[in-house]
Amino acid sequence: MVEVRDPRRYSVTSPNASVQERLFRSLVEYAPTGVAMVDRFGTIVLVNRETERLFGYTPDELVGQSIDMLVPRRLLGSHAGFRAQFFESPQRREMGAGRDLFGLRKDGTEIPVEIGLNPVETDEGVFVLASIVDITARKQAEARFRIAVEASPHGMVMVDPQGRMMLVNRETERLFGYERSELLGQPVEMLVPHQVRAHHPDVRAAFAADPRSRPMGAGRDLYGRRKDGSEIPVEIGLNPIETTDGIFVLASVVDISPRKRAEEALRRSNEELERFAYVASHDLQEPLRTVTSYMQLLSRRYRDRLDGDASEFIDFAVSGAKRMQRLIQDLLTFSRVSTRGEALQLTDADIVLQGVIANLKAAIAESNASIACDRLPQIIADPVQLEQLLMNLLGNALKFRGTEAPQVHITATRTGRFQRFSIGDNGIGIDPQFFDRIFVIFQRLHGRDDYPGTGVGLAICKKIVERHGGRIWVESKPGSGSTFHFTLVAASE
């Protein structure tokens, strides 16, 4: 408590001030905070420049007047009561804690203020020394923050260090089905599903111990609990906000039910499509076999009785049926990539490659190809599908050769958690405009007479690589060979 004998001695005009008094006076006079001393009757006995500036008065217009002239009319009643209370038990305090305070300016406008009160005991009784801070800028910043939060398309929830919701926006009300008044001041746990509610304070404590902006529960499915007890899948971003009262958390909540529904619909439709492809290709084989075998019977038994045209027509029909059989078999293989895949396991890619080279021995010899390969590493894969993958890529490298004998180069490079395999050839190459198309089922760039095939091979490769969590792509120029790259998870992972 400041001991002052006569507060009037500190009025700006005092003629007999000692050096120390002058210093003290200028301290008050030029303080960036408004200062006003008031007696128990509410009379202003001292003000500084900042108070005059804040309220728009010139020097000496305030001293001797009632403090009420600085209080908005509508607050006068409660102000008188408050003053009486203060002088009954004078102690240092904030004025109107928790309520918004306003000052009345000379021009009739109001300014938001924060007021601290200190009792000052003198021979002439107790005075109150009020410090007044203009909080217009802070209020404006707060208002802007509120507008931004309110306008956010995400649910925004500000949680205090005790886990109570201090601010929620309209979207939060909509998402969780509560009125704002039902949420404010309540523990945030009321928005958390029952089964994880008990654990949630630990989650908050962990965040407070390492406060960084980050998604909540990365990699896990999060749910929010609505007022009606239903749960919604959500994605939550957490942002720490440091305040003098500790670390607050601003959580942004996005309802991901539409995305989940779309993913589920896509999964179901993919499954149906695969079932359809499987059933169709499986069931189509039987009648096709009948057609083929009766055509062949016809040709064998009646060849001498038919004329040249008829025999030719039968040959066309048989080769058409055989082609269809191949297409159906490839389609079946394609649909089996996801339905009949084996578990991913530690696989020695080198052993698999040697098996593939052995299988292609005839084609290699026939095309006079030379094959150079690194020692391939161990990876995590379905060995049967890895064999299929290498078989298709190596088969294509031999098939799409130019005029020279094929030279194929197979390498593997570690890139992060993946191994990148590359199969380069010196064949006819591919125009970059077709890089995407060749991985689509039944898409081919050549006629059957130039190069045999069904256009399913690369689609199978893509499906296999994607089932393994990797990527497949091609680099090529027409006439300069092609290199197909794909990535699979390396063994150490």
> Which chain residues interact with ligand ADP by CB under 6 A?
392, 396-397, 400, 425, 427-430, 438, 444-446, 453-459, 482
Q: What are phi and psi of 480, to 5 degrees?
A: -120, 20
Q: Output the smallest distance, CB 340 to ligand ADP, in A.
A: 20
Residue 376: which residues within 8 A CB-CB, separation 6 or more? 348, 349, 350, 352, 353, 410, 412, 421
Q: In which element (H, E) is residue 245 found? A: none
Q: Choose between 9 and 446: whose C-beta lies nearer to ligand ADP.
A: 446
Q: Output the smallest distance, CB 175 to ligand ADP, in A.
A: 47
Q: Choose between 14 and 333: whose C-beta lies nearer to ligand ADP.
A: 333
- For residue 218, the SS3 value is coil
Q: Hey, how many other C-beta atoms are within 10 angstroms of the C-beta on 95?
A: 18
Q: Output the smallest distance, CB 419 to ligand ADP, in A.
A: 21
Q: Output the smallest distance, CB 423 to ligand ADP, in A.
A: 8
Q: Choose between 204 and 401: whose C-beta lies nearer to ligand ADP.
A: 401
Give me the residue whose beta carbon is nearest to ligand ADP: 453
- Per-residue b/e over 315-352, b at no fewer than 16 CB within 10 Å? eebbeebeeebebbebbbbbbbbeeeeeebeebbbbeb
Strands 370-373 and 407-415, sheet pairing: parallel
Q: Output the smallest distance, CB 442 to ligand ADP, in A.
A: 8
Q: Output the smallest distance, CB 391 to ligand ADP, in A.
A: 11
C-alpha separations of 436 from 85, 391, 401, 443 in Å: 81, 20, 21, 10
- For residue 176, the SS3 value is helix
Q: Choose between 144 and 326: whose C-beta lies nearer to ligand ADP.
A: 326
- For residue 441, the SS3 value is coil
Q: Output the smallest distance, CB 448 to ligand ADP, in A.
A: 9
Q: DSSP letters of 134-153?
A: E-HHHHHHHHHHHHHHHH-S
Task: List the beta bridge partners of residue 89.
Answer: none
Q: Are 253 and 175 in contact (CB under 8 A)?
A: yes
CA atoms within 13 A on the CB side of 131: 13
Q: Output the smallest distance, CB 257 to ligand ADP, in A.
A: 38
